[in-house]
A and B are shown apart, each in its own frame.
Chain A
Amino acid sequence: MAQSFSAPRKRAAGPRFRIDLMPYLFILPAVIIYVIFNLGPVLASFFLSFFRWDLLSPTTEFIGFKHYNFILNDARFWNALSHNFIFLGLAVVIPVSMGLFLAVFIYEIRKGRVFFRAALFLPAIFSGVVIAYVWKWIYHPFAGVLNPILELVGLGAFTQSWLGNPKIALYSTFIAYTWASFGYSMVIFLAGLQDISTDIFDAARVDGANFRQKLFYITIPCLYDVFTFVITLRIFTAMGVFGVIYILTGGGPFYSSDVIDIYVFRMIGNYEMGWATAAATVNTVVVVFISTGFIKWREWRSWSS
């Protein structure tokens, strides 16, 4: 009986790589959805910014960097972007500090914690449109409640046209934005506070630390990563603010509360899709630059300390 002998299979030289496909299969649906609904539109928008297109026409015209050239030389674009920066500067300070102090307040109190948490978070769950319309009536020069309240408490000198005065229209919209957004910061800080071991606070209390010392030497340092997250969130929302300003002022009077998203929206409304996407692309680059820079700086500080 003939026997056949096969030579033993030779093992490949060098280290053997084995790719386990299973984890990739698990994340595949999420990746597909992300590519279709997030990455795809961003890339399509970037691509579109090099064309003249009116959204409905079947034809487009390639014009290279002409839209970018126009936008970067458009004083109204820089005006809108500067307002986003003002918004950003205020948004990382006011709603964040309000959120922090209210979170600490709720964390400290024993009675009514659930009530205060719910009441203070309530504005955050309203639609931006509802909030804008509420504030539109609060600011109404004749029927609004803000001016009469100021007069009632002896601050009549401060009454004015909150949305009609170009010098303060942007800040008036910021107040409405703050009212809608501090609740998010508060609940995130509250979650962070609950993660801090109570032993640290107990030890500080035994050592005689007062409220201020506990806040600045325990609470805030322990919430380092939470701060990074909350501020990053504020960067995104401040640079992408739209609904509140659009409903309250439409970017006016005379562009005094204009921001990039309203600038882009105006372009879309005029069927200038190339201009609109070019402006949106520039804004995206600015947001990515600021947020990435901020996160890297926080990481570097965290590592160096």
Chain B
Amino acid sequence: MSKNQITMLLQRLSMILLIALLLGLLSLASVAAQDATDILVWSLGYSGDYNDTLVERFNEAHDDVQITYEDVLTGTFTENNQKVRIALENEAGPHVLGGVDVGANLQALVSTGQVRDLTEYYRASGLIDRIPPNLLAQVTVEGRIYAIPQNMESVGIFYNKDLFAEMELDVPSEWAEYIDVLEAVKDAGYYGYTMGLAGGWPSALMASMFMYSSAGSEYIDVLSGTQPWTDCDNCLDGLNAFYGMVENGYANPEPLGIDYDQSLDLFYQGINAMVLNGPWFIDASVSAAPDFEIGFFYLPAVNPNTDIKTLGGIGGSIIIAEYADVDAAFKVVDWLTSEDVAVQALREAFVLPAFSIDVPEDIDPLTYQIASETAANVDKIGFWPVTYLPPKVFGDMNQIVQGMIGGMLSPEELLSEMQETHSTYLAEN
């Protein structure tokens, strides 16, 4: 064998070895990738884009667990709830799911037996100390805890801070002071209360805000069907206060002639001085970029003795499917409920966590104010009515409230109409 032949043979051998080495490395990598447990997620409890961001961050930070995100929950509130219920019932849904509505929806999910009991996890992880008892009660079914309150929402009044300063108005803390502010704003040629109810939305929520503000937890009994609407005198007081916004000229004219978005334009344009809204309004107002600063305060209670401060509650909670890999799923939950992720979400997506965190002072001032106020009043924030009212009754309530605002129904007749609608639905189902 000549020297050249030996050299050629060695070259070929080294080439084969190199290829074999590369193949070996590739197969090792694929084995490693296969070792990572895949967790299917339909939502991490945030809007679509922010879900993507979080999934990317989680997958970068973890090798052993990887999240696969499917943007399935693109429908309405009811549609999404139905999709999740059916998927879990058939073991064909996500392993971990954020943004789940509590109340009747969570109870329905638990009843299928496909949602993991998290009671032991709460104790082991120390999460039990970070969530206020009233919120914990909302995710407890028959003494066991089935979800983790994830984000918190509370409704209040966003106001034109520049206008208030110009008119030397103080932020009201009592109902009488609020009426004084509305009078002053009206006298100055502005509208104090923003109302756009064409199309229905958000008539029922606005009316509910005032009924909560007067009846407190009694209103929850009404929503859950344990107390008749017509027996709730405090609800009637709340409705009268709500109708007073229109009757006394505090609200913009033609509330039934413009829709919700059109009514917000009145606030952005500086025609209306205040708007009742939730934390999601921060994002919307940043996009609208009005030429004045926006402040926030809670609507003062119509009835000062009420035990509930405002409408809102748990905006979404995290559940784990019974069929999920427990260790991997808990890893995702640990990460989602970590202080770092919560602060990032507050800073980047204006989402307030439902578990205690140190609210950083260097965030957007309006976000800071709402986050601090919500944290301070977390035990006095009520429920979203739609978590208790069947969707059909809630939809009808939007139209019935329009009837009162349009002068076709008195507040008493509204309660009677709601009683009939609600009881008919319950009897039929």
Contact = CB atoms under 8 A, between A and B. Distances in A.
Summarize A's interface: helix, strand, loop or mixed: loop
B253 A252 contact: no
A54 B82 contact: yes
A99 interface: no
A174 B390 CA distance: 32
Interface string B390-421: 11100100111011011011000000000000
A254 B428 contact: no
B256 A269 contact: no
Contact of B257 (A70, A163, A250, A270): A163
Contacts of B392: 266-267, 270, 272
Contact of A252 (B266, B391, B399): B399
Contacts, number: 92
B400 A254 contact: yes
A254 B398 CA distance: 8
Interface string A6-20: 000000000000000
Interface in B255-289: 255-259, 262, 266, 271
Interface centre among A57, A142, A254, A269 (most CB of B within 10 A): A254
Interface in A262-305: 266-267, 269-272
Nearest to B271: A142
Given A70-B428, A251-B399, A140 B391 contact: no
Given A141-B253, A164-B406, A166-B406, A56 B86 contact: yes
Contacts of A139: 257
Interface in A201-224: none
Contacts of A272: 392
B132 interface: no
Name the interface size band of chain B: 35 or more
B395 A252 contact: no
Contact of A164 (B78, B254, B395): B254
A269 B200 contact: no
Contacts of B408: 166, 253-254
B245 to A, nearest CB: 15
A141 B255 CA distance: 10
A162 interface: yes
Given A142-B258, A250-B200, A252-B256, A269 B428 contact: no
A254 B409 contact: yes
A54 B266 CA distance: 39
Given A266-B395, A270-B395, A140 B258 contact: yes
Contacts of A165: 256-257, 406
Given A70-B428, A142-B266, A253-B403, A161 B395 contact: no
Contacts of A56: 82-83, 85-86
B358 to A, nearest CB: 42
Contacts of B391: 269-271
Contacts of A269: 76, 78, 391, 395
Interface in A186-213: none
A136 B262 CA distance: 10
Contacts of B256: 161, 163-166, 252-253
Interface centre among A56, A70, A165 (most CB of B within 10 A): A56
Nearest to A258: B399
B200 A164 contact: no
A249 interface: yes
A181 to B, nearest CB: 22
Given A164-B254, A266-B395, 6 more contacts: A136-B259, A141-B258, A252-B199, A252-B256, A271-B78, A272-B392
Interface of A: 54-58, 70, 136, 139-142, 161-166, 249-255, 258, 266-267, 269-272
